[in-house]
Chains A and B, each alone.
Chain A
Amino acid sequence: SQQGEEDPQALSIQEGENATMNCSYKTSINNLQWYRQNSGRGLVHLILIRSNEREKHSGRLRVTLDTSKKSSSLLITASRAADTASYFCATEPGSGGSNYKLTFGKGTLLTVNP
């Protein structure tokens, strides 16, 4: 079963605007990760945030994590056409024998129009 659910399923913005994608999950986690997938390609790791962290930055990316609400958001600032891709959140469980299972959501398709 899917652990994470991204919202929205699709997002279309103009170049230069900010893009925000959200992820909700169901069970306790050790960490949450965001990945990007360009059409027809493999996934690329963007950023990892641990359960004891609230915010993390990497270049134009900002990730927040609210464990009380079991949710995370990915903000891409000053978007570019090259940011057009699908974005997935993935979680590693917090405990138990299944804690090696990285579980993905269904993704948000971001389109950045030039």
Chain B
Amino acid sequence: NAGVTQTPKFQVLKTGQSMTLQCAQDMNHEYMSWYRQDPGMGLRLIHYSVGAGITDQGEVPNGYNVSRSTTEDFPLRLLSAAPSQTSVYFCASSYSGGGRSSYGYTFGSGTRLTVV
């Protein structure tokens, strides 16, 4: 049981490049989400999904796209990287969200992204 797996762990991009951060979970969780963590800012929600085929925006969605074609995978796409997107990105999943959580969220180990 691997939990939530994020790849890559580290990435350096040039301004304007695009890339996809991968997130996969093997717990059959219906709810998945992406956060970014910046110093002094805590975690901010980028996008989330309540099930395959359903996604919605969080607090800071600009510059990011997501899709959810399967229950297991929830990739985050940076369309045209900017230095302001330098951050640590975390993927999280939960058996259920929307106030029905009983067990909290399981987080991946993060992707540290630097945009130069």
> How far, in whole Å, are A99 and B107 apart by their CA atoms in the complex?
19
A interface, by DSSP: helix, strand, loop or mixed? Answer: strand
- Residues on A with C-beta less than 8 A from B97 are 92, 99-100, 102
- Residues on B with C-beta less than 8 A from A42 are 4, 90, 107-110
- Residues on B with C-beta less than 8 A from A60 are none
Contact of A100 among B4, B31, B42, B43 (CB under 8 A): B31
Interface residues on B, range: 20 to 34
Whether, in the assembled complex, B8 has its beta carbon less than 8 Å from a beta carbon of chain A, the answer is no
A interface residues, how many (CB within 8 angstroms): 28
Q: Which of A24-46 contact B (CB under 8 A)?
A: 30-31, 33, 35, 41-46
* Contacts known (A2-B42, A100-B48, A101-B48); A45 close to B105, Cβ less than 8 A: yes
Question: Judging by beta carbons under 8 Å apart, are A33 and B104 in contact?
Answer: yes
- Residues on A with C-beta less than 8 A from B99 are 30-31, 92-94, 99
- Residues on A with C-beta less than 8 A from B44 are 104
User: Which of A's residues lie within 8 Å of B, judged by CB?
Assistant: 1-2, 30-31, 33, 35, 41-48, 88, 90, 92-94, 99-107
